[in-house]
A = this chain, B = another copy of it.
Amino acid sequence: MRVNGKQGDSISIRDRGLLYGDGVFRTFRIRCGKPQHWPKHYEKIRHDSAVLGIACPAFELLTAELQDLLATHPDGVVKLIVTRGGGERGYAPSGRSESTHIWDITSSPEFPADRAVNGIKVKLCQLLLSQQPRFAGIKHLNRLENVLAASELIDPDVAEGLMMDANGYVIGGTRSNLFLVLSGELITPELSRCGVAGVQRDRVMAWAAANGMPLQVRDVTLDEVLISDEVFVVNSIIGMWPVRELENRSWSGFSVALRILLFLEQQDIN
């Protein structure tokens, strides 16, 4: 664990990351001493910081710190947080504070191995996402909606919750992005009003472009999800889980999903 480049596991109680959730983060895997898709994650956190007007540390600095951490943690999950830092009292940023950056590494989560091939059970969350176009899509620290949605998932068989917005559109999982395969096309929800646009989502979209599969990024209704040929969720930690069960619909086979997963995994290894 490092805070602003120094060994440490704590931050000031006056850091705006705590006070207001005034910051952004990214989570990704390290495998065999290699950070997975680090440049893509850096590009995301740099972009998200810029949306909030937070100065993100330079790629070279963060890469050097990450390399240093890898020496003692060749496998696991990395979390990188960048906050607006400390500063004067009140909501308005002073413009004079330096950002805070935090590294945390934990062991790799142990998910049941059959999820990728047999799919998961997904539950529709009751919590409806609010719409904030000003910072939709970015991975900021205001994540109470995800916390409350995830706390609805009490059944241990349920591996992910599906979140909708108040307009009746499906946005994604509590911790993942959603894709549908419908009539030979890939569809993923538009994230300009809510949701988080993950690196793994970008990688699936890049696969579609590279493999000539039509892709639509647009508003998606629950009815469309339920009539889809395949449904799957992705993120940088789980990789991909096809959906086996949602509401009263069940799926099996996952031929398109598994073809994409194979591509993603092969890229991860190389």
Contact = CB atoms under 8 A, between A and B. Distances in A.
A20 B143 contact: yes
A11 interface: yes
Residue from A53, A92, A131, A174 having most chain B Cβ neighbours under 10 A: A92
B134 A127 contact: yes
A250 interface: no
Interface in A69-96: 77, 81, 83-84, 89-93
A104 B18 CA distance: 13
A148 B131 contact: no
A92 B53 CA distance: 29
A15 B12 contact: no
Given A53-B151, A102-B13, A147-B93, A131 B166 contact: yes
A123 to B, nearest CB: 12
Contact of A13 (B3, B14, B146, B153): B3
B91 A143 contact: yes
A64 to B, nearest CB: 20
Interface string A148-160: 1111010000000
Contact of A22 (B16, B20, B22, B143): B143
Interface residues of A, number: 56
A13 B20 contact: no
Given A13-B3, A18-B141, A144-B21, A131 B134 contact: no
Interface in A82-138: 83-84, 89-93, 102, 104, 106, 109, 127-128, 130-132, 134-135
19 contacts: A1-B13, A11-B11, A18-B83, A20-B142, A20-B143, A22-B144, A53-B151, A77-B89, A91-B143, A91-B147, A91-B149, A91-B150, A91-B174, A92-B147, A127-B134, A128-B134, A130-B130, A135-B148, A140-B144
Interface of A: 1, 3, 8-22, 25, 52-53, 77, 81, 83-84, 89-93, 102, 104, 106, 109, 127-128, 130-132, 134-135, 140-151, 153, 166, 174-175
